Amino acid sequence: MRLNVIKTYKLYVGGKFIRSESGYTIERHSKDGEFLGHACKGSRKDLRDAVKAARSAQAGWAGKTAYNRGQILYRIGEMLEARSEEFAELMHAESGASLEECLKEVETAVDRCVYYAGWTDKLDSVIGTVNPVAGPFFGFSVPEPTGVVGIVADPSTALIGMLSQVLPVISTGNTCVVLPADDYPLTASEFGEILSTSDVPGGVVNILGGVQEPLNPHLAKHMDVNAISLSNAAADTEDLYVSEGAENLKRIRSGEADWMQPDAHSLSEIQKFVETKSVWHPVEA
Amino acid sequence: MANLQEKPTSSSRPKLNFGSKWDYAPAPESTAVVDIAPEYGQFIAGEFVPPSSGQTFETINPATEEVLSRVARGCQADVDKAVTAARAAYEGTWSKISAPDRGKYLYRIARLIQDRSREFAVLESMDGGKPIKESRDVDIPLVAQHFFYHAGWADKLEYAFPNQTVSSLGVAGQIIPWNFPLLMAAWKIAPALACGNTVVLKPAETTPLTALLLAKVIQEADLPPGVVNVVTGDGEAGAALASHPGLDKVAFTGSTEVGKAIRRSAKTRNVTLELGGKAANIIFEDAPIDQAVEGIINGIYFNQGHVCCAGSRLLVQESVHDEVVQKLSDRIATLRVGDPLDKNTDIGAINSREQYDRICSLVEAGKAEGAEFHQSDVPVPGKGFFFAPAYFTGVAQSHRIAQEEIFGPVLSIMTFRTPDEAVAKANNTKYGLSAGIWTDKGSRIFKMLSKMNAGVVWANTFNKFDPSSPFGGYKESGWGREGGAQGLGAYLEVK
């Protein structure tokens, strides 16, 4: 019998798969006790590096055409669909949920990619406005990305929660740093592989790994993070982000959600991570 | 291309002198139209009631330092009463009346404000110090328009949020600043009511009178008692309101520092904040310079510079720096500083002694850090708080006067060479409220405006406001918008 090759799971930062600078890892086993691999344990330094990567990538990503971003989001769905069985197997091993349930979760994730891919070049038409100001001026308002978003991944799901948080954020040109759920670091790392083969520019989505709790205060306090996405988070986690995040007025998305529902997606998820810019120009008399 | 024409310099031609050579006969607006009571209570559940503590405080005219009236000093007990009244009104009447009727009440208020517009304007200038030509021609007309605009939204809210359902939030606590006292009250109350909420408003300590007159108008409009409540007072009342557990919404306009504290202390997570700014006003060499200079004047000296979105950092392309500064220097010599009620006054009184001191201390910091200070030598009254228009040249990015809000008639001038440098300097601030761009080149306007991290961008104009144009900040200038369809989101639950 052939000896199989076990994958080394890594962090995904700035478009590269890297080990944590801390050198720490967490041993991961399936529910049956089978060894799955080591998850890198992201450190504070990794977090800072990831924010830097996200900030560097933000203007370029926001500067792409909406059509281009839409195609790239769709491409994430294509990659996920192509690898759905492989993905479901890893999720099955990591979460203990049945293979059938895991496959269903991947399919829902693919459909979510398709949904948000379609929003990129429609958002401005739907929520942008021409403002009928009472004077000789032409005025309009457009949505713009908020900037760098910290995503504290949904703790209750391996893939669909995290993906449902990431997609609306990046659809408009934000970039993000993801703290994966404590129970699913390998699935998160694997998702990095999907992104790296989907034409998503390096740094647009950065995925750490390990344990959320020690990184939460540092993400909450980071002055170059503009917004935070929480999902099904503990009340004290939300309190932490609200009080520490106030220092640079981080916008915060929170709340409970059942991301497996086919319609657990919406325009309002996108709107939580955009700013409105209003523009005025005189009209010649 | 190099400009071969010789540029005028201050040494090559005589200095223009307007301040002391041209006399203007006084043209004061009459105060007969206002009737200021010696003392005011709080407006709670449709009645003016004395403060629980029995304490009052003086509100003065900053142009004369004379006491105008005594106003209730609200405390926790007053805030409790007001929130209870607002809750009762929300549950008892306001959430039950039809949307078109909500709109009709707001239309009524708009019309009543128009009826009493001169009274409001004079009172605003007396209590706050702004020139009558601004309160009369800018503030009060915008107040009426704001109510009129939002009146029409009351029965059309679902059009603002396609394919989503909207519902009112409940009781909103609203805390407003002293720079546009009545206008900020309108920005807060009109959308809140249109969206079906009831409110407790806390006007600024130094400018409570027009909010109390508005309360009287609201009485005249026969708005159900408790739908709008006004609690006057200082920071204590503001803090009690912001952290009140009975609120479903907190809205604040004011300093970034207080905004952060409010975010932390609010019991509700639904908080919108409109905070400070340090806007870049960017002048390219191809801009129509004379118009740009008017834009600079309007950007920084409008309302004594007490404007969160003021164009307080001037970024001038190096090639036109000397020309722009010369023209600015000539122009500010013509600005008249003095009696806010005089129809010729361009720059009125600084709102309070506290603010005057703050301006002076930042000016001293600017000088100490090495920037060069220039100030108009226009005569200023001996009494009251007045500060002649001024600007700094040779300002570095790191100077406090380039980073902190002076909130007074003091401009910080810096230069740039390329558009990219202008973008980098403009965005080099924790704030992100507004920006100005002056150029004749259309494609450059669009490039620049897309790169500004700012909620409002004025191209070839500055400091323009309209209820249909959403206003609010990026970054530490706050979150949420006021005005437009977008602004309704602050007062609705959208699903």
Total-model pTM: 0.95
* Selected catalytic residue, list B308, B404, B405, B482: B308
Q: Are B175 and B305 in a shared domain?
A: no
Q: Are B253 and B338 in a shared domain?
A: no
Q: Above 90 in pLDDT, residue A1?
A: no
B308 is catalytic: yes
The pair of structure tokens assigned to B364 is 């001293």
The reply to whether A282 touches chain B by the CB within 8 Å rule is: yes
In a domain, B464, yes or no: no
In a domain, B216, yes or no: yes
In this prediction, residue B17 carries a pLDDT of 64
Q: Are B176 and B282 in a shared domain?
A: no
Given an 8 Å threshold on Cβ–Cβ distance, is A277 in contact with B459? no
Count the Cβ atoms, other than its own, within 10 Å of residue A262: 10
Considering only CA atoms, which of A215, A209, A216 is closest in space to residue A240?
A: A216
**Residue B337 sits in a domain of what CATH number?**
3.40.309.10
Q: Are B217 and B286 in a shared domain?
A: no
In a domain, B332, yes or no: yes
Owning domain of residue B359: 277-459
Cβ contacts of residue A239 below 8 Å, gap of 6+?
none
Given an 8 Å threshold on Cβ–Cβ distance, is B459 in contact with A139? no
- Which of the residues B159, B469, B474 would you substitute to probe the A interface, choosing the one with the greatest number of A C-beta atoms within 10 Å? B469
Given an 8 Å threshold on Cβ–Cβ distance, is B163 in contact with A267? yes
In a domain, B466, yes or no: no
Given an 8 Å threshold on Cβ–Cβ distance, is A277 in contact with B449? yes
What ranges do the domains of chain A cover? 11-257
Give the 3-state secondary structure of residue A58: helix
Alpha carbon distance B154, B361 (integer Å): 46
- Beta bridge partner(s), residue A179: A152
The pair of structure tokens assigned to B91 is 């549950």
Question: Cα torsion for B122, B123, B129, B134, to the nearest 10°?
Answer: -40
Class of domain A11-257: alpha beta
How many residues belong to chain B?
Answer: 495
Given an 8 Å threshold on Cβ–Cβ distance, is B484 in contact with A141? yes
> Tens place of pLDDT for every residue, chain B, 495 residues?
444 444 444 455 666 666 566 678 899 999 999 999 999 999 999 999 999 999 999 999 999 999 999 999 999 999 999 999 999 999 999 999 999 999 999 999 999 999 999 999 999 999 999 999 999 999 999 999 999 999 999 999 999 998 899 999 999 999 999 999 999 999 999 999 999 999 999 999 999 999 999 999 999 999 999 999 999 999 999 999 999 999 999 999 999 999 999 999 999 999 999 999 999 999 999 999 999 999 999 999 999 999 999 999 999 999 999 999 999 999 999 999 999 999 999 999 999 999 999 999 999 999 999 999 999 999 999 999 999 999 999 999 999 999 999 999 999 999 999 999 999 999 999 999 999 999 999 999 999 999 999 999 999 999 999 999 999 999 999 999 999 999 999 999 998
DSSP string, B328-378: HHHHHTT--BS-TTBTT-SB---S-HHHHHHHHHHHHHHHHTTPEEEE---
User: Cα distance from B214 to chain A (closest Cα, Å)?
Assistant: 23
Alpha carbon distance B50, B42 (integer Å): 6
Considering only CA atoms, which of B322, B316, B285, B288 is closest in space to residue B9?
A: B322
Alpha carbon distance B169, B466 (integer Å): 25
Chain B CB contacts of A243 below 8 Å: 264
Question: Cα torsion for B458, B461, B466, B468, to the nearest 10°?
Answer: -50
Alpha carbon distance A45, B278 (integer Å): 32
Overall number of domains in chain B: 2
Chain B CB contacts of A246 below 8 Å: 260, 263-264
Given an 8 Å threshold on Cβ–Cβ distance, is B469 in contact with A248? no
Question: Residue A277: closest CA among chain B residues belongs to which residue?
Answer: B455
In a domain, B22, yes or no: no
* Selected catalytic residue, list B274, B323, B405, B482: B274
